[in-house]
């Protein structure tokens, strides 16, 4: 088990799908205005990713190579539709707030990426662990971004007032910028910056160098 556990822990921060591979950005900025929607989205993605990895890995030797993408998408879409229907049945309000983004998990690059890149070549056990790790890594980014955005943008967390607002006599003035989509880019960008400062091996090679006045290049 210890031998396999790196599949689970690696994608949490070191090779996080959002901050290292920059995947799943679209939903990461759409559903993170509130923590409740981010948690729901993370749960939906964990289910879809793990289930699709398990199914695809189980039948990987029977999938004809030429039509593997169609099969993967069919399996993923089926799972997404089930998730969407369950959400509509048991958590209608939150499914309304998530609108199309649960349905769009089909096109989330993380899901297809793990299916094609990992589950197609590995047994079921490691595939599920890898899927769970990637989904948790995605969920972690979502939760962090949503916490910052909801807390600073509205002064609340999960709808519960946390900071006293100025309109109610407190000291906190909500930052409306945090409720707008660009702030998710800012926060994710700053997170990537922080992670790459801590792990310099993730930094890409610079495309150009500065020339000093004497003409020699410096980093």
Residues that bind another protein (CB under 8 A): 173, 175-177, 180, 186, 189, 193, 210
Exposure letters 48-64 (e unless 16+ CB within 10 A, then b) = bbbbbbbbbbeebeebe
Is residue 47 within 8 A of residue 138, CB to CB? The reply is no
Instruction: Report how far residue 172's alpha carbon sits from residue 186's, in angstroms, rounded to the nearest whole number.
Output: 21
Q: How far is the CB of 183 from another protein (least distance, A)?
A: 9
Nearer to another protein, 117 or 189 (CB): 189
Q: How far is the CB of 133 from another protein (least distance, A)?
A: 30
Token pair of 147 as six digits: 């916490």
Token pair of 144 as six digits: 């962090």
Q: CB-based contacts of 27: which residues, under 8 Å, 6+ apart?
A: 41, 101, 104, 105, 108
Nearer to another protein, 64 or 206 (CB): 206
Nearer to another protein, 82 or 194 (CB): 194
Instruction: Report how far residue 56's alpha carbon sits from residue 71's, in angstroms, rounded to the nearest whole number.
Output: 9
Q: How far is the CB of 174 from another protein (least distance, A)?
A: 9
Nearer to another protein, 99 or 166 (CB): 166
Q: How far is the CB of 219 from another protein (least distance, A)?
A: 10
Count of Cβ atoms closer than 10 Å to residue 189 Cβ: 11
Instruction: Report how far residue 149's alpha carbon sits from residue 157's, in angstroms, rounded to the nearest whole number.
Output: 9
Q: How far is the CB of 26 from another protein (least distance, A)?
A: 20
Q: How far is the CB of 148 from another protein (least distance, A)?
A: 14
Instruction: Report how far residue 138's alpha carbon sits from residue 141's, in angstroms, rounded to the nearest whole number.
Output: 5
Q: CB-based contacts of 123: which residues, under 8 Å, 6+ apart?
A: 57
Nearer to another protein, 76 or 152 (CB): 152
Nearer to another protein, 100 or 212 (CB): 212
């Amino acid at each position: 088990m210890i031998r396999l556990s790196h599949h689970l822990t690696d994608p949490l921060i070191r090779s996080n799908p959002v901050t290292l591979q920059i995947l799943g950005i679209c939903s990461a900025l759409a559903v993170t205005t509130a923590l409740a929607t981010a948690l729901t989205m993370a749960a939906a993605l964990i289910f879809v990713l793990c289930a699709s990895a398990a199914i695809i890995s189980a039948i990987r030797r029977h999938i004809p190579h030429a039509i593997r993408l169609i099969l993967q998408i069919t399996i993923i879409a089926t799972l997404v539709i089930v998730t969407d229907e369950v959400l509509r049945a048991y958590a209608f309000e939150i499914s309304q707030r998530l609108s199309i983004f649960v349905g769009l998990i089909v096109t989330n690059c993380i899901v297809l990426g793990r299916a094609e890149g990992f589950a197609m070549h590995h047994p079921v056990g490691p595939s599920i662990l890898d899927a769970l790790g990637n989904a948790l890594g995605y969920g972690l980014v979502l939760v962090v971004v949503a916490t910052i955005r909801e807390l600073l943008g509205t002064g609340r967390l999960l709808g519960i007032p946390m900071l006293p607002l100025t309109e109610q006599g407190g000291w906190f003035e909500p930052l409306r910028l945090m409720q707008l989509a660009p702030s998710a880019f800012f926060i994710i960008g700053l997170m990537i910056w922080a992670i790459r400062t801590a792990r310099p091996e993730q930094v890409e090679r610079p495309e150009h160098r500065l020339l000093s006045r004497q003409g020699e290049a410096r980093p």
